[in-house]
Each structure stands twice: as C-alpha cells, then as structure tokens.
Structure 1
C-alpha cells in the first residue's frame, strides 16, 4: 500500500475511497464506519483503517465546511451539494470508528510507529475534534 503523507487522502486507499463517495454518497461513509465498528472484527486491518479515516475526513468536511484537506475534485463537487443536516446522524458513528482506528486492536498505530507517529496522531486528533 502506497502512503505519501499522514493525511486521510495521502495514501492509495484513502484516495480511492474519494471515488466511492462520489459514486455512492453517504452510503459509502456509513459502510466504512460500520466495517470499522463490526463487533465480529477482532483486529482492524490497515486498509480498513485508512478507509475509515478518509470517510471521517469527508464527514468532517461536510459538517464544518472546511474542505481544505479534500484533494479530489470530484469529491469537492460532491461535498458542495451535500447537506450537512443529512450527514449529521453519522457524526457519533464516525467518531467511534476513528477511535477504533487509533485503538490497540488496529493495525495503523503500529504501522505509524515506524514512520512519523506524532504527526499522524496529531492529524487524527484534529479529525476527532472536527467531529466534535
């Protein structure tokens, strides 16, 4: 898996997820959160963690209006037509999913220990704050 930065869309999984949202809308966000929170999943793989963070980034952008971290033009267009009130019900689910990604039963924290863990953790904490 290619990773070129700590941001939610700075890896091949997050970048590809942008296209899922353009195609499937809010369903893609809910699905990513549901997969991360599946009680039958004992360990969250890196790919699912990246999808979850990308979904949370999209949700945060829709709720706050801050699209500065959204790099995909199609996703920016989708966000311009999104209604925050329609996505608000996903806020708690998104926050819980991000917390699972940074938990001990997730692959991403271990992978980032080998790289720039402090910068990655700070970006995820920013994302959690944006989700309230």
Structure 2
C-alpha cells in the first residue's frame, strides 16, 4: 500500500478507485460509488484497508458536492465529471462510521502511526456530510 499523506485521495488504492471511475461510463459512476460505500457498511467482520480507502475516497467525492465540501484532489481524484452524488450522503456517513469502528485495518494502521491528522480529516468529511439545518453548524469534534 502506498500512502503519502492523510487525505482521502493520498494513497494508491484511492487513486486507482478514481481511475476506475474515469474508465466507467457516465451512467455507471454513481452505482460504483454507491456500491463501494454499501460494501463497507455491510462488512460485519474485519474490514480490510483497501476497501476502507476506497470508501473514504467515495465519501469524499460525495462530500465534495455538499455545502462546505472540498473539491476532489486535482491530481489523484477523478478527471471525468461525476453525477449528483448528494443523495448518497447518508451512505457516505455510514461508511465512514464503519471505517472508524473496530475491526478496521485502516483505523489500526493509522493508530500505529500518528493518526490524529487522518482522524481529523475523517471528522471533517463527516461534518460536511451531516445535513445542516439552516443557519446552524454541526460538529462531531
């Protein structure tokens, strides 16, 4: 696994996932994102790191289309346009929750190093994905 930073697109698996999205037809892209999130949510046993990295990238793509979301990485994110993914907010939140719940290899790997910046990025994504009542801000911090 090649990881060079703590962001959702800062690893080989996420970059490959975005490349797969680019190679898919426009009509398949939402289904790929949805399937990636759902597979992680449905994993009851040990959640492997590659699946988690794909789910974090998928959740970041959903968050990028929400108010307060950051655009996908211009180098490692998808180059092709994505459909409206905001209907997947709840799935993206659930997937991030699962990545942060034992047993999760990715969470364990980040705990072995200084995982605080990585966890902060996950919390930032979660905050963006939460529905925001008009005029109010939510925070998971």
Assess same fold via TM > 0.5.
Answer: yes
- Seen in structure 2, the aligned counterparts of structure 1 residues 62 and 72 have a Cα distance that, compared at 3 Å, is farther
* 8 Å contact kept, 1:18–1:72: no
TM-score, with normalisation over the residues of structure 1?
0.85
Structure 1 stretches lacking a partner, 5+ long: none
What is the CA distance between 1:89 and its match in structure 2? 2.3
Paired residue for 2:107? 109
* Larger Rg belongs to: 2
Counterpart CA distance in 2 for 1:11 and 1:73 is 9
Structure 2 stretches lacking a partner, 5+ long: 131-141
Q: Once the two structures are superposed, what CA deviation does each residue of 1:51-83 show, in whole Å capped at 9, x if it has no partner?
A: 00000011111223631x42347725414xx33
Mapped pair 1:13 → 2:10: no
3-state SS of paired residue (1:25): helix
What is the CA distance between 1:7 and its match in structure 2? 0.6
Counterpart CA distance in 2 for 1:114 and 1:71 is 29
Count of aligned residue pairs for this structure pair: 125
TM-score, with normalisation over the residues of structure 2?
0.80
3-state SS of paired residue (2:10): coil
3-state SS of paired residue (1:129): helix
* 8 Å contact kept, 1:8–1:54: yes
Counterpart CA distance in 2 for 1:128 and 1:88 is 13
What is the CA distance between 1:130 and its match in structure 2? 1.1
Q: When you count helix as a share of all residues, which structure comes out higher?
A: 1
Counterpart CA distance in 1 for 2:58 and 2:96 is 9
What is the CA distance between 1:37 and its match in structure 2? 1.2
Counterpart CA distance in 2 for 1:34 and 1:15 is 19
Which runs of 4 or more aligned residues in structure 1 lie more than 3 Å from their structure 2 counterparts after TM superposition? none
